[in-house]
Structure 1
């Protein structure tokens, strides 16, 4: 099962994306619909809301007066906290029921308006954000929903910023074009990414084109942070730290467009014991290493490392499981920090890799890597280097 989070600001076109994906075959779990369901007349949810906010939030027919409730909580952080405390557990329980009832091969689309605000991105395999510029959203809200311009802008301002949404987005759907321009984008997302991603998660497989050297991408750290947050959620306390390592972790360094995440674990038993959790989270076992894809590769101390890969066809990534304090674990961090500290070495490494005709690129890098590792370790000893706080940046 593939769990996809869908979000976007009010008036951005999220409902259009949701309905299109539903037509294509996704199973939609709508947070707004569930929020209405749990406060129907006679439910414990409605009773709890009335207890918290009084009879004034009820309509004459006994249903929840949503505009009245909205006016009570809009702009009042404490009132919104109380309401969330009532509704979120009920919404979560109902959502869990729907997820449990979904078939194993489902693309489960969670339509969640406040996904970014509630920092929920890590619970999904993929987050899709629908974007429309503010002025266009205001026009839609005024013309289609009858809001005043002031009310529309106030509601937009109360939600996450575009920058916050972009940081959370694995997929950014631009809905600022013609009305019929969005559907082809959604169909492409479905066919090229969601369908194969679901199959990879279910079958614990992966596939990716041969990576090529590309100019440094300033968004690589943000992409790595999203993957790291998912890894931390999947692995829990078993992961002592999750770090963005490798070439994409160094600003300005041209590299293959494949992220490298290092998960540090405490014991050899944990290395193999995490395989199922990682596969369910979208990171199946590779079966080997870059050096030998058919066999495990022991580190110099004789303790096996493991390589997992990201099953998302749209975001290639490697996940290296290494033991705390092992030579491989420390060297990955040392090389990253040395390159960050030595811009002239960044230029040297880029030239060494770019000028070679050797493929795959990993083979082209190996001579440089072999020569650079002792230099990096000497720098670490000279500077008294120690691993900094864990993180994907």
Structure 2
């Protein structure tokens, strides 16, 4: 099963995206719809809300007067917290039931307006954010919901900022144009990424990796690494686990293959093996081979390697025992390249020369780099001792 989080601010057109994904066969779980279901007349949820806020939040028929309740909690943090404490556990329980009922090969799209605000992005294999220019969103809300413009702007201002949404977005869909444009983007996303991603997770396959072609440094690599780190921690159930962004993509200004390398620190290889199943479920199956763009252990038996199942974001997760030589080198080399004057330029030259020489042959490219790493190990250690670097 592939778990996809879908979010976007009011007026972004998120429902258009959800509807198209449903047409393709996605199991869509609408958090707003569940929020209404759990407080329908006769439910324990409605009784609890009325008990907390009084019967005046009910209409003449005994149903929840949503407008009156919204006015009560909009500018009252304590009241909003009380409402959340009642409703959210009920929504979570129902969401869990629907996810458990989905087929094993389902692509489950969880439509959650407050995904960013509630910091639940790491719970999904992928997060899709739908956005549109503010003026477009205001016009849609006024037109489609009959909301006064001032209220629409206040609602938008109270929600997560574009910066906060971009930080959690694996996929950013700009829905400010024609409907046909956003539908075409969703169609391509479904065929090229979501279907393949689900299949890879279900079958335990990592995505296929290409040759040693280099890309210019991409500042987005850092944010992408942070999202993957959060998913790894959520997957293994340890929010404090040490996971470091390593390898060439962790060095600003250094060209690299478009593969995010991460190192998960473990206490033992037994612990690494215990993480194999939860990591695979989180989208990082055990790799059938060892190939990476960073210093290797003297003995490959000294680590475990997992690779991303996501066709749209290649990544490798190296599980190494804390204090082992390979663990320390994986942390030391990027620090040295970042910190020692001239080393970044030197390594860039090595990478560019070897990438051109062994185009399409990853194995020979990696082998050729080992000479530079072998010579650099002593230099890196000297630098570490000189500046007092510690892993």
User: Where on the TM-score scale, by shorter chain, does this alignment land: which range?
Assistant: over 0.9
TM-score of the two chains, using structure 1 as the length reference: 0.94
d(CA) in 2 for partners of 1:109, 1:62? 32
d(CA) in 1 for partners of 2:350, 2:288? 29
CA distance 1:116–1:364, shift in 2 (3 Å): farther
CA distance 1:238–1:43, shift in 2 (3 Å): closer
Q: Which residue of 2 aligns with 1:390?
A: none
SS at match of 2:302: coil
d(CA) in 2 for partners of 1:240, 1:376? 26
User: How far apart are residue 298 of structure 1 and its match?
Assistant: 9.5
- Note if contact 1:246-1:336 (Cα within 8 Å) is conserved in structure 2: yes
d(CA) in 2 for partners of 1:60, 1:161? 38
Q: Which residue of 2 aligns with 1:94?
A: 94
Of residues 331, 334, 338, the one that matches 1:333 is: 331
d(CA) in 2 for partners of 1:189, 1:159? 26
For residues 26-41 of structure 1, what are the structure 2 equivalents within 5 Å? 26-41=26-41
SS at match of 2:139: helix
Pair 1:229-2:227 in alignment: no
- Note if contact 2:290-2:305 (Cα within 8 Å) is conserved in structure 1: yes
SS at match of 1:181: helix
User: How far apart are residue 239 of structure 1 and its match?
Assistant: 7.3
- Note if contact 1:239-1:264 (Cα within 8 Å) is conserved in structure 2: no
Structure 1 runs not aligned, ≥5 long: 292-296, 388-393
- Note if contact 2:206-2:308 (Cα within 8 Å) is conserved in structure 1: yes
Cα deviation digits, residues 271-291 of structure 1 (max 9, x gap): 111111111111001023117
d(CA) in 2 for partners of 1:302, 1:34? 49
User: How far apart are residue 375 of structure 1 and its match?
Assistant: 1.3
TM-score of the two chains, using structure 2 as the length reference: 0.94
For residues 235-314 of structure 1, what are the structure 2 equivalents within 5 Å? 235-237=236-238, 240-290=241-291, 299-300=297-298, 304-314=302-312
Q: Which residue of 1 aligns with 2:383?
A: 379
SS at match of 1:186: helix
d(CA) in 2 for partners of 1:370, 1:109? 47
Q: How many residues align?
A: 382
- Note if contact 2:340-2:383 (Cα within 8 Å) is conserved in structure 1: no
Q: Which residue of 2 aligns with 1:68?
A: 68
Query: Following superposition, which runs of at least 4 residues in structure 1 exceed 4 angstroms of deviation?
Result: 297-303
Structure 2 runs not aligned, ≥5 long: none
Cα deviation digits, residues 262-316 of structure 1 (max 9, x gap): 000011211111111111111001023117xxxxx99448863110000000000
d(CA) in 1 for partners of 2:300, 2:232? 25
